[in-house]
């Protein structure tokens, strides 16, 4: 084939699947022969058709599922390191398991990254017999797994776990002082389920290891102060309601209330005020977070459900707690952190599967060098996707929604309603109950319970109200007689900020050639429109509240594209900032490895303080001395890294100010500061280590770290930071500095 034709067939970013289809056909030709064998052979991985035929037979015998050709094609795409786009219900779990077994048989261990702990365990156990038949060992971990269980699971050929469990293990390993305590082996292959959500939507989320505690104290007063300010007078929101900033009047009022200070000369107070304002004006209870059991629980934007392990960056977390008059939760010093993207990029080989990959092809290629392979469905999809129904106001939309539900329910057809947030689910449920319509509401329950409920959403006359992705990964089968009624009917109560989320909701209906339908009800007052298409001329609604003008549909699509573009820009920007730190972290960790597993610390200290070394060596012996040296250098290496992170986070918060001063681009300024600080870091480690080595009491029994002044945090804990999906709050605060500051900077 000439290059020109190849280029035509092979869209940039999209992979050509015809070679995989040929292999699947060849596997079909081997099927009868393999089925006649009593004992299945261990397939040779240099013959993919044989591998597919054996895997198919193993699946048939152990799971009672004969993989369809398209599932083999999907598995082959994964094996060649691509993202397989397969619609909901096409059987990604099985495709993924076949691919994982293939990697394992090639001799490379695989981490299957699941959406949550419940699915990690479910899939590992469900696919267990298939792996066993292929001679591949499998394990899983969850939040409550002990270190021993984890070590055992990581030793398996294939291991299922959520991204946060692996990330937290990696972070804990990075501060291990004993090589025997290290849990996570060298990364090899990651096979990522719901790949778009992990690789794109959650890519920027930092996983954090924190230690020690020092709660901030001024948040409650600032919250009280901010509560007295009025919008439009003291502060303004920008068009997209992503930023809030003080007006000149607001600045004056705050400065007076704080005893006549100058806000712009006290940046820490300004930051605190801005955080409080952000918590007050931009974060809404029951939309962005819930208050439960005296705690703030974040609602994940991409999943529309409570994100139990997540918190905001410390300052914002404290500001929201103060807003809700809750006691400040424990805050700590960040010992180390890694973004989801950084974690995933550790794996030399990646592949993934999801129902919606094409829409993020560009990001997958840019950030991970991944191509998307579009796998056709086994049975063509016959779901009817109706055009959006548009309304002028939210009230009209909600009325129409309830009526639509009542009408369809009267026929016995099951309905699944996807809402945009928790408070909307609850409002709708109340509305339906007032009309005597029974419904199940799914939002913040645990994953296993949600899975059980959502699996019944296809039964006759069932109404299920669910936020975005509650219960995802669970199959919805149609009940008796439901196909005749048209199958599951999915209603979206508004378009999401990304078309992928709309498609995921639609995909709940019409799986495996089932009948089904979907429709979205949209109002021109929805956040999506008011935030992302604020300047657009909107057509008027008719007397019945329905908007019929063609232009309305355009505005909705436009708002969604603007939102998607904004997300991508923020993703790029965050990555620009994290890349430098992640590269530096790799370098420091390489040094750390040499110290942890060798005598690098001893060599360095012996060279820096030869007299002390030989004196001690005679006194306590070489082994004791080496161990003490290791402990000293590890301590200072970890300590200096923590300080470096803290310093760089301050630099980042102040970067816009500094950049203004130096007339540099903020990112260049950040990199300049970061590079200089890193050079200083290694010198500092050496300086402090030598200092400790000269003074620490070291005896034949070893060295007491406390006596040597090496105090590590007594407790550590891990969490995910929920950065606002629209960028770090601090970034936005600083972007919004009033013109006053700029003028002052220019005069300097
Ligand atoms: P996805 O993750 O792609 O939405 P799942 O892996 O949850 O899909 O599978 C959907 C359903 O299809 C499951 O109930 C599974 O048992 C069934 N299934 C998958 N593959 C096959 C097959 N080859 N034959 C029969 N049933 C299958």
Closest approach atom of ligand 1 to CA 88: 4
- Is 475 part of any known ligand binding site? yes
Alpha helices in 663-712 (DSSP H): 666-695
Spatial separation of the C-alpha atoms in residues 631 and 594, rounded to whole Å = 13
Spatial separation of the C-alpha atoms in residues 176 and 192, rounded to whole Å = 27
Does residue 149 contact residue 141 with C-beta atoms inside 8 Å?
A: yes
Whether 727 is in the pocket of ligand 1, judged by its Cβ within 6 Å, is no
Does residue 251 contact residue 234 with C-beta atoms inside 8 Å?
A: no
Nearest partner of 584 among 518, 494, 644, 514, judged by Cα: 644
Place of tokens 């089968």: 477
pLDDT at 5: 52
pLDDT at 473: 75
Whether 67 is in the pocket of ligand 1, judged by its Cβ within 6 Å, is yes
pLDDT at 149: 96
Beta partners for residue 246, in sequence order: 235
pTM, 2 dp: 0.81
Contacts of 27 (CB under 8 A, 6+ apart): 49, 50, 52, 53, 56, 72
The DSSP secondary structure of 83-100, one letter per residue, reads EEE--TTS-HHHHHHHHH
Which of the residue ranges 109-118, 131-140, 291-300, 319-328 would you say has the lowest mean pLDDT?
A: 291-300
Spatial separation of the C-alpha atoms in residues 677 and 349, rounded to whole Å = 32
Confidence of residue 154 (pLDDT cuts 50, 70, 90): very high
Does residue 676 contact residue 636 with C-beta atoms inside 8 Å?
A: no
pLDDT at 4: 52
Closest approach atom of ligand 1 to CA 87: 3
Kindly report, residue by residue over 687-735, the tens digit of the pLDDT: 999 999 999 999 888 898 888 888 877 667 677 765 443 333 333 333 3
Put residue 294 in one of left, alpha, beta given phi > 0 → left and psi -120 to 50 → alpha: left
Spatial separation of the C-alpha atoms in residues 436 and 168, rounded to whole Å = 47
pLDDT at 748: 26
Does residue 288 contact residue 724 with C-beta atoms inside 8 Å?
A: no
Nearest partner of 121 among 465, 447, 463, 460, judged by Cα: 447
Residue ranges of domains in the chain, CATH in brackets: 2-203+341-374 (3.40.50.300), 215-330+735-747 (3.90.1440.10), 384-556 (3.40.50.300), 600-653+678-714 (no CATH)
Kindly report, residue by residue over 350-367, the tens digit of the pLDDT: 999 999 999 899 899 999
Kindly report, residue by residue over 223-260, the tens digit of the pLDDT: 888 999 988 899 988 766 667 778 888 888 998 988 88
Nearest partner of 273 among 214, 219, 233, 327, judged by Cα: 219
- Is 93 part of any known ligand binding site? yes
Q: Which of 475, 504, 510, 514 to mutate to test the pocket of ligand 1 (most atoms within 8 A of CB)?
A: 475
571-581 b/e with 16+ CB inside 10 Å = b?
bebbbebbbbb
What sign does the dihedral 467-469-471-476 (CA atoms) show? positive
Whole-number CA gyration radius for the chain: 29
pLDDT at 451: 84
The alpha carbon of 411 is separated from its chain's Cα centroid by a whole number of angstroms, namely 40
For residue 679, the tally of other CB atoms under 10 A from its CB is 10
For residue 399, the tally of other CB atoms under 10 A from its CB is 14
Whether 508 is in the pocket of ligand 1, judged by its Cβ within 6 Å, is no
Q: For residue 190, report the distance from its CA to the centre of ligand 1, in Å.
A: 21
For residue 124, the tally of other CB atoms under 10 A from its CB is 23
């Amino acid at each position: 084939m000439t290059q020109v034709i190849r280029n035509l067939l092979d869209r940039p970013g999209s992979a050509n699947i015809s070679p995989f289809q040929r292999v699947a056909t060849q596997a079909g030709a081997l099927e009868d022969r393999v089925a006649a064998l009593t004992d299945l052979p261990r397939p040779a991985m240099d013959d993919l058709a044989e591998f597919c035929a054996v895997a198919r037979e193993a699946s048939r015998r152990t799971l009672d599922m004969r993989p369809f050709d398209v599932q083999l094609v999907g598995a082959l795409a994964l094996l060649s390191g691509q993202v397989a786009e397969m619609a909901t219900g096409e059987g990604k779990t099985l495709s993924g398991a076949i691919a994982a077994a293939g990697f394992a048989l090639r001799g490379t261990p695989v981490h299957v990254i699941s959406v949550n702990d419940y699915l990690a365990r479910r899939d590992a156990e469900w696919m267990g017999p298939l792996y066993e038949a292929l001679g591949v060992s499998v394990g899983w971990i969850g939040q409550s797994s002990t270190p021993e269980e984890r070590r055992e699971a990581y030793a398996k050929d294939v291991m299922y776990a959520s991204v946060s469990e692996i990330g937290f293990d990696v972070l804990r390993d990075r501060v291990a002082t004993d090589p025997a305590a290290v849990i996570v082996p060298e990364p090899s292959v990651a096979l990522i389920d719901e790949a778009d959500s992990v690789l794109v939507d959650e890519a920027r989320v930092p996983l954090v290891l924190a230690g020690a505690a020092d709660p901030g104290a001024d948040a409650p007063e600032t919250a009280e102060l901010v509560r007295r300010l009025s919008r439009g007078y003291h502060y303004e929101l920008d068009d997209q309601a992503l930023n809030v900033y003080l007006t000149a009047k607001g600045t004056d009022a705050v400065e007076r209330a704080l005893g006549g200070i100058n806000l712009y000369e006290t940046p820490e107070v300004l930051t605190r005020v801005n955080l409080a304002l952000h918590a007050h004006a931009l974060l809404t209870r029951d939309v962005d977070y819930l208050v439960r059991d005296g705690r703030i629980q974040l609602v994940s934007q991409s999943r529309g459900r409570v994100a139990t392990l997540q918190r905001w960056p410390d300052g914002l977390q404290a500001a929201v707690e103060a807003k809700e008059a809750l006691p400040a939760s424990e805050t700590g010093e960040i010992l180390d952190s890694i973004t989801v993207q950084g974690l995933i990029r550790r794996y030399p080989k990646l592949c993934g599967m999801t129902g919606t990959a094409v829409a993020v092809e560009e990001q997958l290629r840019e950030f991970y060098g991944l191509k998307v392979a579009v796998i056709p469905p086994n049975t063509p999809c016959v779901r009817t996707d109706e055009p959006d129904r548009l309304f002028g106001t939210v009230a009209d939309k909600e009325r129409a929604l309830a009526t639509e539900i009542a009408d369809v329910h009267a026929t016995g057809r099951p309905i699944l309603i996807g809402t945009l947030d928790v408070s909307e689910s609850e409002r709708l449920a109340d509305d339906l109950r007032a009309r005597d319509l029974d419904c199940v509401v799914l939002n913040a329950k645990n994953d296993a319970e949600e899975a059980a409920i959502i699996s019944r959403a296809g039964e006759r006359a069932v109404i299920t109200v669910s936020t975005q992705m509650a219960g995802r990964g669970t199959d919805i089968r149609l009940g008796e007689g439901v196909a005749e009624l048209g199958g599951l009917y999915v209603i979206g109560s508004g378009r999401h900020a990304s078309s992928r989320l709309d498609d995921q909701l639609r995909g709940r209906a019409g799986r495996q050639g089932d009948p089904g339908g979907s429709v979205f009800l949209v109002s021109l007052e929805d956040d999506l429109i008011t935030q992302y298409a604020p300047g657009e001329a909107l057509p008027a609604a008719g007397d019945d509240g329905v908007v019929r003008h063609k232009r309305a549909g355009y505005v909705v699509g436009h708002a969604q594209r603007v939102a998607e573009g904004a997300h991508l820009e923020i993703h790029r920007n965050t990555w620009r900032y994290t890349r430098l730190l992640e590269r530096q972290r790799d370098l420091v960790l390489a040094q750390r490895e040499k110290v942890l597993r060798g005598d690098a610390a001893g060599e360095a200290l012996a060279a820096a303080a030869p007299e002390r070394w030989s004196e001690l060596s005679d006194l306590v012996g070489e082994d004791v001395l080496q161990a003490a040296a290791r402990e000293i250098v590890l301590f200072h290496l970890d300590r200096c890294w923590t300080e470096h992170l803290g310093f760089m986070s301050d630099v980042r918060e102040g970067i816009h100010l500094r950049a203004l001063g130096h007339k540099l681009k903020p990112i260049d300024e950040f990199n300049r500061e970061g590079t200089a600080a890193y050079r200083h870091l290694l010198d500092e480690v050496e300086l402090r280590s030598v200092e400790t080595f000269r003074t620490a009491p070291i005896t034949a029994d070893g060295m007491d770290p406390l006596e040597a002044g090496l105090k590590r945090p007594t407790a550590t804990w891990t969490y995910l930071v929920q950065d606002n999906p629209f960028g770090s709050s601090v970034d936005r605060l600083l972007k919004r500095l009033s013109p006053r500051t700029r003028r002052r900077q220019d005069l300097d």
